[in-house]
Amino acid sequence: MLTTLLIVLPLVAALVVWMTPLPREATAALAVLVMLTEVALWIVALAGFDFGSTALQDSAQHEWFSDLGVQYLVGFYGFSLWLAGLTVVLGAVAVGYAARAGRERPRAYLGLMLFLVGAVVGVFASQDLLLFYVFFEAMLIPIYVLVGVWGGPGRVSATVTFVIYTMAGSLLMLASIVAFGLSQGTFSLIDAGTSGNDWIFLGFAVAFAVKAPLFPFHGWLRAAYTESPPEVAALLSGVVSKTAVFGFVWIVLRHFPRPVEDWRTVILVLAAAGLVYGSLLAFRQQDVRGVVAYSSMGQMGLITFGIFATNDLGLDGAVLHSVSHGLVSAAMFLLAGMLIERTGTDRFDRLGGMAKGRPALATLVLVVGMFTLAVPGSSNFAGEFAILAGVFDRGWGYAAVGAVAIVLAAMYTLRLVSAILHRTRGDAVRDEARDLGPGELLLVVPLVALLLALSVWPAAISERSFPGDAPAAAVTEAAP
């Protein structure tokens, strides 16, 4: 019931926001209130959650159509509860940002944001393959419009590229779902067994590789992340990309152990390529959002390392790093948005010298930057360390590449921080560009506080994601 409420509340709120002609302020207040309720509901779910149990919790089940055995089956496991928590927190912050920034046509905009949050929570809660597909696809509908209507100058081509890439991937997944579900006789992820079919496996793997994105499926990434409004970019890189993590862990690893063994090297090499390539591209970008976009691609490569290490260490690290990366990249995109509000640009050659007289902005950019480059002691460091230790089992080369990429992360992050804050003052930076106000701090500081809390206690997530290490065990058992 609680899970259903978490999914349905934002979706219904979206309908209400679309249909009732409320004034701008009331709409914004309603949307923020719904998202805060959503966070509260999640906390209730967290408080009642038994992290020692391997069973599906807070589950709800309802027949949908019986002749093909498709049902509405939702609930949470440890790791998916964390991913859902990331979603509601970032959703609340993003809706708050949108409410504050005052977008044109607020009812349409905020309704779409709520719809997106509901769909992503639905992805993390689904335990039926067709239901999973429903929410996975449903995410595209709001994103398509949010980017295409409210984005930057290149928004239409950005959104078309994004939708065509991801639809091509997810339609192949639909074919795989049909084949897998009918051959298993059930679409339930709980009841389904394993399959050794490489083609079905590839249908799923490519869909998630596009969503993540993994090299070489990242063609949509830069335009989609930089053309969309900052709060939408925050949700895209923060939570939408994490649906790929859920898919890899809960569908690919558990149900295709044999193909995972066979294709592991390919995937790890692609992840390594994406990690290095994304980091190098991030180093070459001339704008804040470009750096964060490609940095996200690199970090998704790192998370993929952890997943396809298929051992406890790697998987725990992958979930922890998914959450910390989600928080970091969302914070970065929001900060970029606040910069653009002040200066009209996020290009490095027109920024600089902003630290002077703007202590709050400088502190937040620097702190979030430190998390991005995974300074030892941070939650990102803990996640990356677990991932690299996990992938070391699969070959020291991967760990070496990962270590190199962490150095690259330090390089592009420091370049970003100094380009905004230090050097001579850029021509776009005027004296009127104020420091962050209380409203803006209210949005970013909670994210930083969560990052700090996770740094103090990373085990909150890493030791509470996979009781009984189900996905890793599934692959290990199938290994010859």
Partner 1 sequence: MIPVASIATPEVDWLALSPPLALLAASAICLLGAVLVPVLARRAFSATVAGAGFVTAAVLAGFVFDRSPEQKLLIAESMTRDRLAALAQIILAVAGALAVLVSWGDRRRDHVGEYYALLAAAGGGMLFFVSAENLMTLFLGLEWFSIALYILVALDTHRKESLEAGLKYLIVGSFGSAILLFGSALTYGATGELGFNAIRDATGADDPLFVAGMAMIIAGLAFKASAAPFHMWTPDVYQGAPTAVTAFMSAATKAAALVVTLRILVTAFPEQAEIWTVAVAVLAVASLVIGNLAALAQKDVKRMLAYSSVSQAGFMLIAIAANTPLGGRALLFYLIPYGAASIGAFAVVAARERELARPVTLTTLEGWGWERPFFGASMWVFMLSFAGFPFTGGMIGKFYVFSAAYDAGWWWLVVIGVIATAVSIYYYLAVVRAMFMRPASARADLVVAGGSPPAEHALSVAVGAAVVITIGSFFFVQPLIDLAADAVASLPF
- Binding residues for partner 1, rule: CB under 8 A, are 18, 63-68, 105, 130, 133-135, 137-138, 140-141, 144-145, 148-149, 155-156, 159-160, 163-164, 167-168, 171-172, 174-175, 178-179, 181-182
Amino acid (1-letter code) at residue 62: H
Cα separation of the two ends of the chain: 41
Cβ nearer to partner 1, comparing 51 with 64: 64
Cβ nearer to partner 1, comparing 159 with 322: 159
Cβ nearer to partner 1, comparing 33 with 156: 156
Distance of closest approach, residue 138 Cβ to partner 1, in angstroms = 4
Q: Report the sign of the C-alpha dihedral through residues 150, 154, 156, 162, in that order.
A: negative
Cβ nearer to partner 1, comparing 127 with 295: 127
Distance of closest approach, residue 167 Cβ to partner 1, in angstroms = 5
Cβ nearer to partner 1, comparing 205 with 444: 205
Are 232 and 94 within 8 A, CB to CB?
A: yes
CA angle (83 as vertex; 340, 213 as ends), nearest 5: 60
Q: What is the DSSP letter of 347?
A: B
Distance of closest approach, residue 124 Cβ to partner 1, in angstroms = 16
Q: How far apart are CA 218 and CA 225, in angstroms?
A: 11
Q: How far is CA 138 from CA 12, 39, 163, 181, 212, in A?
A: 14, 21, 12, 20, 17
Are 54 and 152 within 8 A, CB to CB?
A: no
Cβ nearer to partner 1, comparing 150 with 412: 150
Distance of closest approach, residue 178 Cβ to partner 1, in angstroms = 5
Distance of closest approach, residue 68 Cβ to partner 1, in angstroms = 6
Cβ nearer to partner 1, comparing 224 with 315: 224
Distance of closest approach, residue 71 Cβ to partner 1, in angstroms = 11
Distance of closest approach, residue 150 Cβ to partner 1, in angstroms = 10
Q: How far apart are CA 341 and CA 354, in angstroms?
A: 14
Distance of closest approach, residue 250 Cβ to partner 1, in angstroms = 19
Task: Please give the helix or strand (H or E) that residue 340 lies within, else none.
Answer: helix 312-343
Distance of closest approach, residue 60 Cβ to partner 1, in angstroms = 15
Residue 20's SS3 state is coil
In a 10 Å sphere around its CB, with 0-12 CB exposed, 13-18 middle and 19+ buried, how is residue 360 labelled? middle
Cβ nearer to partner 1, comparing 182 with 407: 182
Distance of closest approach, residue 319 Cβ to partner 1, in angstroms = 26
Q: How far apart are CA 254 and CA 408, in angstroms?
A: 33
Of the candidates 286, 283, 284, 379, which has an alpha carbon nearest to the alpha carbon of residue 331? 379
Q: How far apart are CA 24 and CA 440, in angstroms?
A: 19
In a 10 Å sphere around its CB, with 0-12 CB exposed, 13-18 middle and 19+ buried, how is residue 149 labelled? middle
Cβ nearer to partner 1, comparing 198 with 261: 198
Cβ nearer to partner 1, comparing 33 with 168: 168
Q: How far apart are CA 468 and CA 330, in angstroms?
A: 31
Q: How far apart are CA 22 and CA 479, in angstroms?
A: 59
Record the tokens describing residue 127, joined without a space: 């335990």
